[in-house]
Structure 1
Amino acid sequence: MQMMSMMFLLWSVILIPIIFFIKHKRGKNSNTPPSPPGLPLIGNLHQLGRHTHRSLCSLSHRYGPLMLLHFGRVPVLIVSSAEVARDVLKTHDRVFASRPRSKIFEKLLYDRHDVASAPYGEYWRQMKSVCVLHLFSNKMVRSFREVREEEISLMMEKIRRSSSLPVNLSKILMSLTNDVICRVALGRKYGGETDFQELMERLSKLLGTFSIGSYVPWLSWVDWIHGLDGQLDKTANDLDENDFVDVLLAIQREKSVGFEIDRVSVKAIVLNVFVGGTETSYTLMEWAMTELLRHPKCMNRLQEEVRKICKGKSSVSEEDIQELKYLKAVIKETMRLHPPLPLMIPHDSTQDVRLGDYHIPAGTQVLMNAWAIGREAATWGPDAENFRPERHLDLSVDYQGQSFELIPFGAGRRICPAISFAVVLNEIVLANLLHRFDWRLPAESIENQTGIAESTGTSVHCKFPLYVIASSTT
């Protein structure tokens, strides 16, 4: 019996790679997109570096803008051009509107009861309508103006008190966005009382972590060895211990949206608001200030525009924003080079479809590499890697989901519903920072601060906190 077991194990070790190789070769001979060679059992997982969006961009330069990888047994399409993104997110939007299962999503996002990771269907449509109705409609965004103005005023005073001394602008911007979103969603601030910022940072990092077990189930023990399972359990428990979500349970009790929402769904929605709102908004502002400090001519031009339009005013109002064309160009250029989510949340095909000349079977995951699309030379020219806001002054490209050359918020049915909420906050914060203060880097930290080293996580911000010195102009 022992000898038979040993022989079975030996033949398994020999045959499994052979079977995998034969299936892989058959796949390559069928009408599927170009694919880098993979390894038995794990496919192309070994080719994903620490910064996956960069690794995938490098591979796309060799294999093309529509590339097929295998993460374990799961086929994954990598989209790296605006043309292909249009095909996926517009022409075949409904086919790719769902989301794949993920151990991380299921653990941290209440078994995919949130808006971002829920599978396409009636539940998702109802949850999205709740978000739009109560937080993200244009009417609601306008109604939060007073909250934005009050929190920006507090931030400006905090910076003024530290004038001529180095301040951690990254931390200040994160606190601002957290406080605005807490007040908007819950009616009060929670950050300082519950270590909420640290929890959100931990959550964001885990959401961007790659789970081997999600793609190669028999290697799930690797996630346990690396401590991922323990981190997921702890973070999920910490999220449940925060009672701030109970504030929105009034929606559930009153059934004011016309259908019943359970407690888990409410908590999942609120979590989306905080993760999507806090991390992405502060990340974009941090990158914008980093690039402006790296390009003093751009900063000077933006300051001249803001101070000319708002001459004699103590602050920039939301009406003034409409006249600040270069500000809008700076924000677009920052989104192009540093999309807060370089790899959009994965899509999942629900039926067989053809993309160009290729057959894509149901159950194929799709990763949109927004970072690579924003740096595509065919669209943006030979200086695509350079920060040059002027390029947007004569272009009609926007980020509302109609121009696939710039998709920091996604496009199609699964486009982020909070675009207006995020953009208004980013515009008014940056305008006031540049109107009220002159900015420079501490001499001892110029080398670190002007680099573009990236963090890891679902949203990618600067690896090092942005320390700056602000000098008041008034």
Structure 2
Amino acid sequence: MDHLTLLLFISFIFFILFFIFQTRSSQSAAKNPPGPRPLPIIGNILELGTLPHQSLTNLSRTYGPVMTLKLGRTTTVVISSPQAAKEVLQKKDHAFSFRTIPDTIRAHDHDQISVVWMPPSSQWRVLKRICVTEVFSAHRLDSTQTRRQRKLQDLLNYVDEFCRNGEALDISDAVFTTVLNSISNTFFSMDLARYTSDKSQEFKDIIWGIMEEAGRPNVVDFFPVLRVLDPQRARSRMMSHFGKLFAFFDGLIEERLRFVGLEMEFKRFNDVLDSLMQLMMNENPQVSRPQVLHLFLDLFVAGIDTTSSTIEWAMAELLRNPEKMKIAKDELRQILREDEQLEEFHISRLPFLRAIVKETMRLHPSLPLLVPHKTEDEAELCGCFVVPKNAHVLINAWAIGRDPNVYDDPNQFKPERFMDNEIDFKGHDFELIPFGAGRRICPGLPLANRTVHIVLASLLYHYDWKNPNGFKAEDMDMSEMYGISLHKAIPLKAIPIKA
């Protein structure tokens, strides 16, 4: 074969391969979920806005419940229906159970050790099992209930002061301190703040800082080549936030280790820290000290932030809907004898209160886009779409909760909608997934479930509430502030009146 013939043959082969590649690429692109046309280089970044869960909800009305966006160099698929969410989180969760890692989460290598962010692996399964059996088991939570009960009484004592003075209570701050101390007593057998101290605000600033940095748009996440520069200094700020909490947790471990030689003393706390340290100090340790530190960071930050914000949103909705508050208060009075103490076991006998919590989580999910997922390989979705390899996958729980095809009057606060059905937020009903579902469901759900209900019930049972300064209920500002979690932009204040 002469050189000319060989050149023609090679050119023909390259032409055929190029044609096949282009055809396959076109076919693959045709199967990608629809979405808005991206701009050069930046893609659809500008369409996210400051409240991305709302922006993505509006886009889904045009492009459907499964849509594609280009955010810089990354392909992002957004899920906005229960059916598609079920396929991602349950039916095909093996394909979608990896995590998209925001650059800020790489601070202190948290993404490599965190039970929330690390990929599904043997190490992740060990940490998840520890969460289920040692941290959030029914036995563990029952054994620490009296500590949480004492924190409730502290809250009531604090609110009583505002009753006597006729002053407006900052519900946001009061609830945050209560949840902070409730969780710290469950984990560490200690209070971390007083209602009138700066310590509570210090923890609040750190925790909100972490949630804000994890959710705030960061140019590095859209253009990974800039990672080494950290141009917005976001990872640097996260290093500081993480470092403060790691130093605090490590100090608690060091202090507890002083009791190691005194077995009776070491076991006397009977809290989560005791359990994890015993696992850490076994002859064949199941968990390392760094893993304990990172596990506490995950559970402490997410548990306090999401639980306290849910209670605040619930109180805000009830102040806007006083007729719903009255139903809840009447229900509480029916099941409790005079001077009987409200306890966690009463919650199962309060269907309307539970409906209020579900309705709050529907309208105001703590993580409106959940924790982001990622595909390791190309995956088929809904029988007609192909999600590319390494695509970011966002589940818009906020959009699902406000979908008119799922709920009647979706923007109205109507707890009674949950009185006639069995829909719950524990991962089986994809119409309501504030904690996610499937293998990556939030491990802290059992404690959050108890804490939200009992704190809310206590505030309703012991007090009547009115808006300060003569504000009308319908005029209350319900605007949102977005980090990775969803907060009320203007903290809630109300005047308590002894019931």
Does TM-score exceed 0.5, indicating one fold?
A: yes
Contact 2:310 2:452 in 1 (8 A): yes
Equivalent in 341, 347, 369 of residue 343 of structure 1: 369
Residue 280 of structure 1, aligned match among 289, 302, 306: 306
CA distance 1:49–1:155, shift in 2 (3 Å)? same
Shift of 1:111: 3.5
What is the CA-CA distance between 1:418 and the residue it aligns to? 1.7
Which one of 182, 192, 204 corresponds to residue 184 of structure 2?
A: 182
Matched residues in 2 for 1:109 and 1:66: separation? 32
Of 366, 369, 374, which aligns to 2:401?
374
TM-fit CA distance, 1:222: 8.5
Structure 1 position 183, deviation (Å): 1.0
1:114 paired with 2:103, answer: no
Query: Normalising to structure 1: TM-score of the pair?
Result: 0.89
Which residue, out of 353, 361, 364, partners 1:327? 353
State the alpha-carbon separation in 1 of the partners of residues 215 and 278 from structure 2.
30
User: Matches of 1:60 and 1:339 in 2, distance apart?
Assistant: 18
C-alpha RMSD of matched pairs (Å): 2.3
Question: Which piece of structure 1 moves more, 284-293 or 230-239?
Answer: 230-239
8 Å CA contact 1:344, 1:369 repeated in 2: yes
1:228 aligns with 2:254: no
1:108-257 counterparts in 2 under 5 A? Answer: 110-163=110-163, 164-191=166-193, 195-220=202-227, 224=231, 226-242=232-248, 243-244=250-251, 246=253, 248=273, 250-251=277-278, 253-255=280-282
Whole-Å separation in 1 of the counterparts to 2:64 and 2:440 = 25
**Given residue 221 of structure 2, which amino acid in structure 1 is its aligned partner?**
S
Q: CA deviation at 1:140?
A: 1.3
The 1:158/1:109 distance shift into structure 2, 3 A limit, reads farther
Contact 1:28/1:35 (<8 A) preserved: no
Aligned to 2:55: 55
Q: Is the 8 A contact 1:78 1:366 kept in 2?
A: yes
Q: 1:362 & 1:129 partners in 2: Cα distance?
A: 29
CA distance change for structure 1 residues 306 and 93 in 2, over 3 Å: closer, same or farther? same
Amino acid at match of 1:40: P
Choose from 456, 474, 479 the match for 1:453: 479
Q: 2 CA distance for matches of 1:76 and 1:234? A: 29
The residue type paired with residue 295 of structure 1 is N
Match of residue 6 from structure 2: none
Amino acid aligned to 1:170: S
**TM-score between the two structures when normalised by the length of structure 2:** 0.85
Higher mean Cα deviation, 156-165 or 226-235?
A: 226-235
The 1:125–1:221 alpha-carbon spacing in structure 2 relative to 1, beyond 3 Å, is closer
Q: What residue ranges of structure 2 are gaps of 5+ in the alignment?
A: 1-21, 257-272
- In structure 2, how many angstroms separate the alpha carbons of the residues matched to 1:142 and 1:255? 25
Long gaps (5+) in structure 1 = 1-21
- Give the greater-gyration-radius structure (CA): 2
For 1:461-472, list aligned pairs within 5 A: 461-472=487-498
8 Å contact 1:439–1:470 — kept in the other structure?
A: yes
Secondary structure at 1:298 match in 2: helix
Take 1:244 and 1:173, find their aligned partners in 2: how far apart are those partners?
Answer: 26
Contact residue 101 and residue 111 of structure 2 kept, 8 A = no
CA distance in 2, matches of 1:437, 1:289: 12
> Post-superposition shift, 1:199?
1.4
Distance across 2 between alignment mates of 1:184 and 1:141 = 8
Three-state SS of the structure 1 residue aligned to 2:362 is: helix
Please state whether the residue corresponding to 2:405 is helix, strand or coil: helix
Aligned to 1:327, the other structure's residue is in SS state: helix
**1:232 CA drift (Å):** 2.4
Query: Residue type of the partner of 1:451?
Result: D
8 Å CA contact 1:399, 1:406 repeated in 2: yes
Percent identity over paired residues: 31
- Is the contact made by 1:177 and 1:278 (CA closer than 8 Å) also made in structure 2? yes
Q: Which amino acid aligns with 2:429?
A: S
What number of residue pairs does the alignment pair up? 448
Q: Is the 8 A contact 1:245 1:266 kept in 2?
A: no
- Map of 1:42 onto structure 2: 42
Q: CA deviation at 1:252?
A: 5.6
Cα deviation, residue 278, structure 1: 0.2
- Give the counterpart of 1:413 among 439, 443, 453: 439
Cα 1:44–1:222 shift into 2, 3 Å? farther
